[in-house]
Amino acid sequence: QTWQLVVALFCKLLAFPALVVVATLLFKMAPGLSAVLLLLTCLPAPPSAYILARQLGGNVSLMANIITLQTLFAFFTIPLWVDIGDRFLWLNLIL
């Protein structure tokens, strides 16, 4: 279960936002659109994912751990991605 937690944390909080930064730079998207995409991508998994896992017969304990750890790590990664967005995408996200 540990490797699944690490993969979930890495993909959701680091890899997906990095892909969004690369895509917005590559496709020269508008700063407003880039800001929305980056902020939505760097958010942790929603708590409703636990309910879905329970109702659909998924691994409930794994989902609870993923949600908890992603929420805790998001306190550090969201400011990181806001700073990266401000520096590289010229988003002016910090008021």
DSSP output for 62-91? HHHHHHHHHHHHHHHHHHHHHHHHHHHS--
Tell me the mean pLDDT per 10 residues along the chain, length 95: 94 97 92 90 94 96 96 96 85 58
Global confidence as pTM: 0.86
Type of residue found at 58: G
Q: Where are the domains of the chain?
A: 2-88
Tokens coding 40 = 């939505």
Asked whether 81 and 17 are in contact (CB, 8 A), the reply is: yes
Say how far apart CA 91 and CA 55 lie, in whole Å. 40
Say how far apart CA 19 and CA 41 lie, in whole Å. 9
